Each structure stands twice: as C-alpha cells, then as structure tokens.
Amino acid sequence: MQRRDILRLLALSPFLSAARAAGLEPLPALSQAATQPDVELELTAAPRAVSILPGAQTNLWSYTGRVVRGPATALQAIPGSYLGPVIRVRRGQRVRVRFRNALPEPSIVHWHGLDVPERADGHPRLAVGSGAEYVYDFEVVNRAGTNWYHPHPHMRTAYQAYHGLAGLFVVEDEEERALSLPADDGELLFVLQDRRFDAGNQFVYAGGAAEGGQGRGMGRGGMGRGGMMGMMEVVNGWLGDRMLVSGRVQPTVDVDRRTYRVRFLNGSNARIYKLAWSHQAPFTVIGTDGGLLGEPVSQRFLTLAPGQRADVLLDLSGVAGGTSLQLQSVPFPSDAVGRAGMMGETSPVPQGAALVLATLRVSNRQGPRHTTPARLTVDRFQPAPNAPVRRVPLTFMQMNWLIDGRTFDMESVTPAETVVAGSTQIWEFVNQPNPMGMAMAHPIHLHGRQFRVLSRNGADANPLREGIHDRGWTDTVLVLPGETVRVQVTFSQFPGLYLYHCHILEHEDMGMMRNFRIRPA
Ligand code: C2O
Ligand code: CU
Ligand code: CU
C-alpha cells in the first residue's frame, strides 16, 4: 500500500510543477518527498476510556500518535483529554502519516483546511476497514494557521467525531515567526465541543446510521436510538448539554498576567457559539481558518460555527491578580440558527442558550506583554469581479438538506461542480426557507482551499451577524437563514475529487454534501 501511494504521489509531480509555474510558493523536489518525509507520524484511532466527569470513565474513540521521524515537537499530546495530539508542522515540510484504524468500523482521516493531493484528502470512498492502514504523503503548502483533523467515513462522520475523534493541526512558518507572537506557555488551545452524557457517564447520541447500515440520510434506516424527537434533533443538528473545552467540562484554566494567543476551534457537531469575554474586553482577532489576517480586527463578539477557527490575542497583563474571567457564549434567540421542524425546541440546551465555556483564573505572576502588531501579513487576495458566478441554493425538502437540489452521491459530480485547477469562481450560497418557512444556518465548508467572502445579504438583523467579520481567508462560511453569501475561490492545483458540505455533521451525514472535481489545467 505504501509503495502504491508513493507511486501515486510521483504521478502527481507534473501538477506540482504547474503549481510552481502558476506562481505558488516554491516547492522542493518531489522525488525526495516520497522517500524522505521530514515528519513521519503514526496515528491510531482506537477505543479508549477517559475520565471526563467524576465517577465512571467515558468509553469513547480517540486518536493517539507517535513520531516516527522528525522533531518530537511534531506531536503534542493534550494530557487527560480524549482529543488527538496536536500536530505541529512547518510550511514546506513533507509529512507522512500512517493511519491505523483500530475502530470496529471503517474510517478515514481528513485534514480540514489543508491543501493536499486527492489521495491525502480523506474522501469517504477512501475509508479503510477495521484493522487496516492508510498512508498519507503530502507537502505542507498552507501558510501558518490553525487547521484540524477528523474522520470522514460515509454517514459516520458525525458519530465518530462526536465520540472523540478530532485533533488540531497547526502550521507554522517564517512569516508568522517574525511577528514573535506568544508561544509555548503563552498559547491556549480552546477546542469547543458539547456533549450529552447518560447517568453512567457515557455519551448519548441519537444520530448515525446503524453500523454497516446502508440507509441514506434520516429518511430510511439510519436512525439509531431516540424515536421521533431524536430524529428531529438529528435533523436540526445534535446538541449536547455539557460544554467542553479541549476535552474538559467547563474547565478552570490558570493563567498569568501576560498576553496569550488563543487558538479557537469550534469542534462541535452542530452548536454555534457567539463568544464573549466576561470582562467585556474585545477579541483581538489576528487569524481565521486560513491563517493570519492582514491586520488585526477588534470585535466584542466572535461567532464561531462548527468547523471554524479563530486566532485571537488576549492581553491579561493589566488584569488584577486573583480575578476570574469567563469565556461565554452570549444568549441569542434559537431562531437565529433556525430549525427544520414545527415541533419547537427539543434540545435540553438549545442553540443560543447562555453558556459558560471556561473560567480563566488570573494569578499574580506577571508575564510578557506583547503589543499587537499593526500589520500582520501581506494580504495577497485579488478580487476577480469578472469570475464566473455559480449559484448554489441550500434547501430543505422531504426531511433532507440539499445543496443545489441534490444529496451526496459517492462519485457523482455535475458539470457545474467540475472546475479547472487554479481557476477562480464566485460561488453564491443562497439559503432559502422552504415553502413552510423552514431554514437553518449552514456552515458551508470546501475541502482543499481557503477562500474569501465577498458579500452577505439578507440577514442583517440576525444577532449572529455582529460576531462575524468576513475578513481573511476561510474554508468554512456560515450562511444564515434567508441569507445569500458570495465567496471567491481559486481552486487548488491538485486535480481530483473533493468535497464541499455543511459542517453541521448531522447534515453532512444526511447528505448535505457534494463532490466537486478539479480537472487538470
Ligand atoms: Cu471538516 Cu469535510 O470536513
Ligand atoms: Cu475539510
Ligand atoms: Cu447544515
């Protein structure tokens, strides 16, 4: 398998040359890439028991890793957490990951945010069975930023991610290093997730096709536990009633009087957060899904939908020692997210509920204060007003969420979903309520490419709007009910079959996902 993957990778080299010719960053010779990765990791997905609540351990699924070659810092375990180790690599490094599936069912890993060849993207058709392995070989072409990894098997993504399979994938580069941002102890990793537990401390989840089941969406087959109420909760996106940050329930984090860099990931299946600090300080946003912004943006609220990341500076140097601050999600009406049914609210802690996610306990120790750089990076975005516009309706029909009128089909692509490597298009996501007035907010994610939001119209009064800034590169854009959002995307140089989908993972598994095919230029 390994040799075959290497041969496949070598077969891609003409396209890498094309990428170079197209003016992308210089890429070192590829022949060495296949034989000599800079970083080689082993990543295993397996059942494990972890203490989350007092009392019984929670049986879950988790990634563990080992560095086979390269710096030990390439993997950073999060002690006591079910989250997979943080993978930390540098731009330009060649990475090989040997994924071992020790789960009782098929799985495959997707590197969310990374621009990788088709073979390395974790498409569900590449899932490997229980006990099997899959070898990823790719070069890190992304610039510095906070990405993540999670499973992507057919109709089991939501189930597997909910049961613990997720981790951060951090890319570093020289440009970012030159800014001397807070690092090491000055970095906080906040992965936001919600879960429901039963009386025995086990995860409660109603979604997901039965193991080995072939049902499509919620319409037939794949219901699991929970009956009608459970079904509506899955169609709306499954919500937990306990908030976890990096695997701990509402943790208290000891911090010093210094500047922190906080990397946020919304790793929840369906919950949207409208974040705020309890001491009213604004977020100093320095980066988005796709890395550093041109310049920092200051905002009181930070809306983060499933799949999205934010990179933020938090200056606690002027806060009195002994103070406790909270990371909150401020309340908003659940209509801001919308729902599919007429049944009203069915979740124990609905979308928009006021939440405390974590408490920061400030010590008396004074640490380094970093002034926020006025300029962070050179923003290379070039508007292409004459690029072709593709209209992509997001709709709800017969208990199915649709993209451009269709649900997922493993290999199928329409002509509109076929694009040329390196070409630029404007995709216009139109989130239309159905004739019954039903619509939901959908975080729409494209594999393999960071894109830019050009405009959003139609939901200006939605309270989630004030936490959205739309500056910078992103791979997941929240499209609110009734809203039309235009994005400009320049497709990757790597040809092949890639996915775009709603990142409410229950919607994705129900089929709110489509392929797009990149044809060689
Ligand atoms: Cu984070 Cu296709 O997903
Ligand atoms: Cu992705
Ligand atoms: Cu959705």
What are 243-286's pLDDT values in tens digits? 999 999 999 999 999 999 999 999 999 999 999 999 999 999 99
Mean pLDDT score, 371-383: 96
Q: Which ligand is nearest to the CA of 151?
A: 1
Cα 106 to middle of ligand 1, angstroms: 17
d(CA 87, CA 396): 37
Nearest ligand to the C-alpha atom of residue 152: 1
Contacts of 345 (CB under 8 A, 6+ apart): 334, 339
- Pairing state between β 389-397 and 424-431: parallel
How far apart, in whole angstroms, are the C-alpha atoms of residue 253 and residue 86? 19
Distance CA 329, CA 305 (A): 12
Element housing 178 (H / E): none
Q: What's the pLDDT score for residue 113?
A: 98
Is the C-beta atom of 152 inside 6 A of ligand 1?
A: yes
Cβ neighbours of residue 399 closer than 8 Å, sequence gap 6 or more: 217, 218, 219, 235, 340
Other CB atoms within a 10 A radius of the CB of residue 274 amount to 23
The CB of 123 under 6 Å from ligand 1? The reply is no
Q: Is the confidence at residue 22, as pLDDT, over 70? A: no
Q: Does the Cβ of 263 fall within 6 Å of ligand 1? A: no
Residue 1 reports pLDDT greater than 70: no
pLDDT at residue 226 in the model:
56
Check pocket membership of 449 for ligand 1, CB cut-off 6 A: no
In sign, the C-alpha dihedral spanning 224, 230, 236, 239 is negative
Q: Which conformational region is residue 15 in: left (phi greater than 0), alpha (psi within -120 to 50 degrees), or beta?
A: alpha
The rounded distance, in Å, linking the Cα atoms of 470 and 388 is 21
Is 307 close to ligand 1, i.e. is its CB under 6 Å away?
yes
Give the C-alpha separation, 97 to 37, whole Å: 10
Ligand 3 center from residue 415 Cα (angstroms): 23
Ligand 1 close to Cβ of residue 507 (< 6 A): no
Q: Which atom of ligand 1 is nearest to the CA of 307?
A: 1
Is pLDDT larger for residue 340 or for residue 489?
Answer: 489
E-assigned strand segments in 13-102 = 39-50, 58-69, 75-76, 86-90, 94-101
In angstroms, rounded to a whole number, what is the distance separating the alpha carbons of residues 481 and 174?
A: 40
Ligand index nearest the alpha carbon of residue 449 = 2
The C-alpha atoms of residue 495 and residue 508 are separated, in whole angstroms, by 23
Confidence grade of residue 436 (pLDDT, cut at 50, 70, 90): confident
Rounded percentage of the chain residues whose pLDDT exceeds 90: 84
Which pLDDT score, from 0 to 100, does residue 236 have? 93
> What would the pLDDT profile of 315-367 be if each residue is shown by its tens digit?
999 999 999 999 999 999 999 999 887 666 778 899 999 999 999 999 999 99
Q: Which residue puts its alpha carbon closest to atom 1 of ligand 1?
A: 112
Q: Residues 366, 370, 372, CA angle at the centre, nearest 5°?
A: 145
